[in-house]
Chains A and B, each alone.
Chain A
């Protein structure tokens, strides 16, 4: 199955039966390799009430290789780089394990899907992984000054919704 066919199938599945709090699809169907997703902040976390847009870029050999994902608003989180890139094990191919801690089962494989990525990212927002900090400052703050961390997250949520 070609990459774009598989992506189309996933797109259809995501539209017909969207997971709670997730909207995703290609920016334009003319290019199936660039998607935009919206993820709702999980309830009971400082991200609650927020909506976080992210861009997904798929490689030509998808689903052999995973897509890359980047948030398009400020996300203050230990596993999100300051430029928005998401660092999570499901986005790493089994061969490349920069952090030497991930189990093969958590990593990308063709049986994973966009839906699984987005659900994983949603739970990552709720539960940061302290072992692989992409944003060292956020990781430190999350560990040592939780109140301050949560305030920044909440402020960002309000800002991203155009409310001050």
Chain B
């Protein structure tokens, strides 16, 4: 019995010692591989920062990268922090965020499907009036009556003002394009 009770603590000590020995043996190799200063940097990738920056455009990429760096690249933690309203800290001046990938890698979202709207000429049925714009141009500057007691007349005047505004804009743009080419 006495021998046995001695053996168990010995075994425990042996296991502990070998555990630490192995740990000590393995650790330096990984520690050497990373320079001390940049040890935390690799945990934060540009993709992570990009994704969060897209979700929270009100924050600077550096702020996002800084928060990620500090929590070990945990995107959920940063998201939660922003949503809880506590905001993100301003990183120290020496801190640099991983460069954005979006400029080159991601296609611009502008080509994404958007409901295409009809142009103004179509919308207001102005195609037939496009050629008569020269007459309108002389009329446009003078302020005509803009209010009437008659409902229909009022409506017609508003309609005319709308059309004039569009036709004038179109004429000006046409002239500008001609001047350019």
Contacts and interface: CB of A to CB of B under 8 A. Distances in A.
Contact of B110 (A40, A76, A130, A161): A76
B116 interface: yes
A145 B102 CA distance: 11
B114 A53 contact: no
A158 interface: yes
Given A161-B170, A163-B177, A53 B120 contact: yes
A15 interface: yes
A152 B102 CA distance: 18
Interface string A132-144: 0100110111011
B170 A136 contact: no
Interface stretch (B68-76, B88-96, B161-169): B161-169
B127 to A, nearest CB: 8
Given A23-B165, A159-B119, A163-B173, A139 B57 contact: yes
Contact of B169 (A15, A16, A49, A144): A49
Interface string A53-64: 100000000000
Contacts, number: 93
A148 B155 CA distance: 40
B130 to A, nearest CB: 8
A72 B146 CA distance: 25
The secondary-structure label for the interface of chain A is mixed
Interface string A8-33: 00001001101000010100110000
Contacts of B57: 133, 136, 139-140, 143
Nearest to A78: B57
A131 B122 CA distance: 35
- Size class of A's contact patch? 35 or more
A87 interface: no
B29 to A, nearest CB: 41
A50 interface: yes
A97 to B, nearest CB: 13
18 contacts: A12-B147, A16-B147, A18-B161, A23-B158, A29-B154, A51-B165, A51-B166, A73-B120, A76-B110, A139-B57, A140-B57, A145-B103, A148-B108, A152-B110, A159-B119, A160-B120, A162-B121, A163-B174
Given A15-B158, A163-B170, 11 more contacts: A15-B147, A16-B147, A25-B158, A38-B165, A49-B173, A137-B109, A140-B57, A141-B110, A143-B57, A160-B119, A162-B120
In the A-B complex, the 8 residue pairs with the closest CB atoms:
A162-B121, A162-B119, A137-B109, A25-B158, A51-B169, A161-B170, A15-B146, A73-B117
Interface of A: 12, 15-16, 18, 23, 25, 28-29, 36, 38, 40, 49-51, 53, 72-74, 76, 82-83, 100, 130-131, 133, 136-137, 139-141, 143-145, 148, 152, 157-163
Interface of B: 54, 57-58, 85, 100, 102-103, 108-110, 112, 114-117, 119-123, 146-147, 151, 154-155, 157-158, 161-162, 165-166, 169-170, 172-174, 176-177
